[in-house]
A and B are shown apart, each in its own frame.
Chain A
Amino acid sequence: MIALTVNGETHQVDVDPDTPLLYVLRNELALNGAKFGCGLGQCGACTVLLDGKPVYSCLVPVAALRTRKVRTLEGLASPDGTPGVLSIAFEAEQAAQCGYCIAGMIVRAQALLERNTRPTADEVRAHLAPNLCRCGTHMRILRAVHRAAEMMGGGVRAVAEREP
């Protein structure tokens, strides 16, 4: 049995120690948020927060977690079930086409906004760079992050367009 703490709850799971965290979240804990996209650390679909930092859960063996705390998309909602600010902002902006990438986007954006509710537009883009979207929903995703920053009392600062 391996112990892990996810969204504030401790679980014991009976899996091979080299099982990636992603597989444990999805198959043992029945959490849908983190998605299998590549298993290679290239797309960000599996992004979760590990002690507040975004990581690729497809690359973290569950036995390596020890006391570190995992937060997933589901854990961003409040205990009464109200979705997190970013989830609300994504819905308000209708920021999804297929939506397969969206959980990873929200979780990565959460890490940024928890640190800084007033990032620049370029900082948001650079921060989200590890996450791929194939539907081309990027512009809406950016708008949703901007909206969430405002909802958190901050906002995304526009900066002069880059001159090549």
Chain B
Amino acid sequence: MSRLGRRALLANGALVVAFALSRGALAQDTDQPELPGGLAKSPLLDSWISVGADGQITVFTGKVELGQGLKTALIQIAAHELAVAPSEVDIVTADTARTPDEGVTAGSQSLQDSGTAILNAAANVRVLLAETAAWRFALAVDQIEMRDGAAYAPDGRTIGYGELVSGASLHVAAKPDVPRREGGARVIGEDLARIDIPAKVSGGEAFLQDMRLPGMLHARVVRGPSDGTRLKQANIEAVATMPGVLQVIRNGRFTAIVADDEWRAVKALYRLQAAGWERIGEPLPAKRMREAIRGLPAQPVPIFHYPGPPAPPEAHTLTARYSRPCLMHGSIGPSCAVALWEDDSVTVWTHSQGVHPLRTALAELLGLALERVRCVHVEGAGCYGHNGADDVAADAALAARAVPGQPVRLQWMREQEHGWEPLGSTMTVEMSGSLGLDGRIVAWQHEVWSNTHSTRPTTAGGLLAGAEVEPPFVPPRPLPIRLPEGGAARNSTPIYDLPNARGTLHFVEEMPVRVSALRSLGAQMNVFAIESFMDELAQAAAIDPVAFRLAHLRDERAREVVQIAAERFGWSARGRGTGFAFARYKNLASYCAVAMDVRIDRETGEIHMPRVVAAVDCGEAVSPDGIRNQIEGGIVQSLSWTMRESVTFDTTHRTSFDWSAYPILRFPAMPGRVEVHVIDRPKQPFLGPGEAAQGPAAAALANAVAHALGIRLRDMPLSPERIRAALRPTPAAPRQAAG
């Protein structure tokens, strides 16, 4: 049967998927231990796994594929526990009509949440089917062998899963204590080729941007050049009569063009934009954004406090201030959505990371009951956090409402993505630390200033269009994200063994520019600061930086990651220009250490990176190559952030309007080699690797640059201009513009 045929069968209800019942309804009077991962919220087995009458297995996840290999990893997990080949397992990702509500795909939590749920649900299904087979064979369940999609009796009798499932209901709650499969073919831990890659390398329909529905129209949204601006009154009539333009939709300030052809929609957009623009509200601060944010009123939030003995008088105290500019997600494909409005209901195909929260926000924006909004995830270009995906989904839904019955595809222009995506907040960290005479840290203080790290939409006010329509929706008030994950405070708690330490977040509520979640949130900056500062302290104590870290590190897994990275790099024989850094993401997820070397061209200030070596422990390694892929990518992306990137502003708007105004690393500047060593921890909980490298890579670079130059650079980006200025400090040293 073809893949399509199987899906059709499912949709026809071979096993109806239901996931509406909450845990409360099912488990309220049991004393059972908490179900693991996403099962806690959606405990029914058939929310996660269905077995068709033909034996076809389908896995349902509320998480989404972002190019991190999620689909393949979840298939691997299910196939392993169900004792079938991965090719026998199909997967359905986030769709508000079909999959569990798993919130947002973020925080490297997909394997922790969905992977753990599917692992346990699959083990439950396997046991249920084995029990059914035992009953059918009149044998004890431990005599049944489950493999290759069938149950086997010792005498050779066999029944396929498809037949077994007709006698077993999967519409039951998972049990928490079902054992993992032992023995037999291993699927977890194998390097399975990713199922999404063939289409991506051959021109298949791989992305939302590639969707073509019959009769599909094309739309463009019309905005000023950046967040905080609007277009001046334009000549709508002239545009409405341009060839191919079907509608110019206006609702308050929200304006969109629907055309019969994409290029014609673009030409109409250009014509409207020619009217010019103006700033709405207060001018932006004239100074650099990081200083502006540091200077705004802030709410102090305690992060951690270890009330050990105060530093003795002979202690040597160091202080340092580190900062980063606003950073951009900079997805290579501008955000896109396809929407279809029919019978007072709307379906939106979206690459949002959170289809369920988006659905709630869209229902409010459109004044529809929740059941009348369906959001279906389809892959887009990599997003690395909250970019324009949700906003464009709202733009497309509003456009589709104007042309019922006709699907509308709306993609942002490059300049719109650069101008309007929420940025990663600028941050400042001030560190203070004291060394005892024995070279140990006796006191430590970490203070961080930042805007919020999440304005992900859960209401209409969180969407750009929400503020534009009439009457407008009020954007929600930003709040600090709770610890232990934290937003701006993420990874500000040191993993090191410190007797007397205190951390404070200075949460700046006022947002001069639009900000939200960017890969690793505050962790990249906090780890940059902590790990730079650890090197500064090590230098003051005249101790090797790796030895200094190990002297303050008790967690055994952390020590091993540090030691393996150092060993594989050849740290003990290191030359000039080497740097090391380590963190455990969120202090509760993956461990990652990075060692690297740099050579600096003292004339140009360019940094060359011959070699980067990383070690990572993300618990049980589902797909080692998938982990390497993500860590390699995280390292390269973080190096680009750290050495090149800075969003610029003038007093009226964001001026990083395209790739020429916001350069990122290109091939010639890439490291010579990047090696990633994966430490597998069989049977340990999954800890996603997606964001683990952002902080360590940034700090390893800073430490290598300091080691090469003998000068410490504490402000990102470590750009050629900054390096030249550091090497030739003159009164006329060039200063970064805004940022």
Q: Which residues of A contact B (CB under 8 A)?
A: 15-16, 18-20, 23, 26-27, 30-33, 35-40, 42-43, 45, 72-74, 77, 83, 86-87, 90-91, 94-103, 106, 122, 124-126, 128-140, 142, 161-164
Cβ proximity bits B339-351 to A, threshold 8 Å, 1 near / 0 not = 0000000000000
B610: Cβ under 8 A from any A Cβ: yes
Q: Cβ of A39 and Cβ of B413 under 8 Å apart?
A: yes
Q: Cβ of A97 and Cβ of B664 under 8 Å apart?
A: no
Whose C-beta in chain A lies nearest to the C-beta of B218? A27
Cβ proximity bits B463-488 to A, threshold 8 Å, 1 near / 0 not = 00000000000000000000000000
Whose C-beta in chain A lies nearest to the C-beta of B69? A97
Could you say which residues of chain B place their CB within 8 Å of the CB of A86? 201
The CB with the most chain B CB atoms within 10 A, among A15, A130, A131, A138, is that of A138
Whose C-beta in chain B lies nearest to the C-beta of A99? B200
Cα–Cα distance between A74 and B601 once the two chains are bound (Å): 42
Q: Cβ of B202 and Cβ of A73 under 8 Å apart?
A: yes
User: Taking A43-B659, A72-B203, A97-B68 as contacts, is the C-beta distance between A38 and B629 under 8 angstroms?
Assistant: no
Could you say which residues of chain B place their CB within 8 Å of the CB of A163? 599
Q: Cβ of B637 and Cβ of A164 under 8 Å apart?
A: no
B672: Cβ under 8 A from any A Cβ: yes
User: Taking A35-B333, A40-B414, A139-B671 as contacts, is the C-beta distance between A98 and B637 under 8 angstroms?
Assistant: no
Could you say which residues of chain B place their CB within 8 Å of the CB of A30? 212
Q: Cβ of A98 and Cβ of B666 under 8 Å apart?
A: no
Cα–Cα distance between A98 and B67 once the two chains are bound (Å): 4
Cβ proximity bits B239-256 to A, threshold 8 Å, 1 near / 0 not = 000010000000000000
User: Taking A32-B206, A36-B411 as contacts, is the C-beta distance between A96 and B67 under 8 angstroms?
Assistant: yes
Cα–Cα distance between A163 and B601 once the two chains are bound (Å): 9
Q: Cβ of A15 and Cβ of B263 under 8 Å apart?
A: yes
Q: Cβ of A140 and Cβ of B201 under 8 Å apart?
A: no
User: Taking A161-B610, A164-B599 as contacts, is the C-beta distance between A100 and B203 under 8 angstroms?
Assistant: no
Whose C-beta in chain A lies nearest to the C-beta of B608? A164
Kindly identify which residue among B266, B414, B630, B660 contacts A97, using a CB–CB cutoff of 8 Å. B630
10 residue pairs of the A-B complex, CB under 8 angstroms, read A19-B263, A20-B263, A39-B266, A40-B658, A91-B193, A94-B194, A99-B200, A132-B659, A132-B664, A134-B331
Could you say which residues of chain B place their CB within 8 Å of the CB of A137? 629, 632-633, 636
Nearest Cβ in chain B — how far from A112, in angstroms?
12
Nearest Cβ in chain A — how far from B73, in angstroms?
13
Nearest Cβ in chain B — how far from A4, in angstroms?
15
Cα–Cα distance between A111 and B666 once the two chains are bound (Å): 19
Kindly identify which residue among A37, A126, A131 contacts B414, using a CB–CB cutoff of 8 Å. A37
Nearest Cβ in chain A — how far from B54, in angstroms?
27
B207: Cβ under 8 A from any A Cβ: yes
The CB with the most chain A CB atoms within 10 A, among B204, B206, B332, B672, is that of B332
B359: Cβ under 8 A from any A Cβ: no
B264: Cβ under 8 A from any A Cβ: yes
- A-B pair number, CB within 8 angstroms: 195
Name which of B378-386, B429-437, B525-533, B725-733 contacts chain A: B378-386
Whose C-beta in chain A lies nearest to the C-beta of B661? A42
Q: Cβ of A161 and Cβ of B334 under 8 Å apart?
A: no
Whose C-beta in chain B lies nearest to the C-beta of A30? B212
Cα–Cα distance between A95 and B193 once the two chains are bound (Å): 11
Q: Cβ of B263 and Cβ of A16 under 8 Å apart?
A: yes
Interface range for B = 35 or more
Cα–Cα distance between A1 and B37 once the two chains are bound (Å): 57
- Since A32-B206, A91-B197 are in contact, a sample of 20 more A-B pairs with Cβ atoms closer than 8 Å, ordered by chain A residue number, is A15-B261, A18-B263, A19-B261, A32-B203, A36-B334, A38-B658, A74-B203, A87-B202, A91-B198, A94-B194, A96-B200, A98-B382, A99-B200, A100-B67, A126-B667, A129-B668, A132-B332, A134-B382, A139-B636, A142-B667
The CB with the most chain A CB atoms within 10 A, among B209, B602, B671, is that of B209
B634: Cβ under 8 A from any A Cβ: yes
Cα–Cα distance between A39 and B632 once the two chains are bound (Å): 28
Whose C-beta in chain B lies nearest to the C-beta of A42? B659
Could you say which residues of chain A place their CB within 8 Å of the CB of B263? 15-16, 18-20, 23
B196: Cβ under 8 A from any A Cβ: yes
A-B pairs with lowest CB-CB distance, top 7:
A136-B636, A98-B67, A99-B200, A98-B382, A100-B381, A136-B633, A33-B203
Cβ proximity bits B171-204 to A, threshold 8 Å, 1 near / 0 not = 0000000000000000000000110111011111
Nearest Cβ in chain A — how far from B186, in angstroms?
19
Could you say which residues of chain B place their CB within 8 Å of the CB of A96? 67, 194, 196-197, 200-201
User: Taking A40-B658, A129-B668 as contacts, is the C-beta distance between A94 and B625 under 8 angstroms?
Assistant: yes
Cα–Cα distance between A125 and B667 once the two chains are bound (Å): 5
User: Taking A32-B204, A40-B414, A132-B659 as contacts, is the C-beta distance between A100 and B640 under 8 angstroms?
Assistant: no
Cα–Cα distance between A90 and B193 once the two chains are bound (Å): 11
For window 663-690 of B, CB contacts with A under 8 Å fall at 664, 666-668, 670-674
Could you say which residues of chain A place their CB within 8 Å of the CB of B212? 27, 30
Nearest Cβ in chain A — how far from B120, in angstroms?
28
Nearest Cβ in chain A — how far from B601, in angstroms?
4
B34: Cβ under 8 A from any A Cβ: no
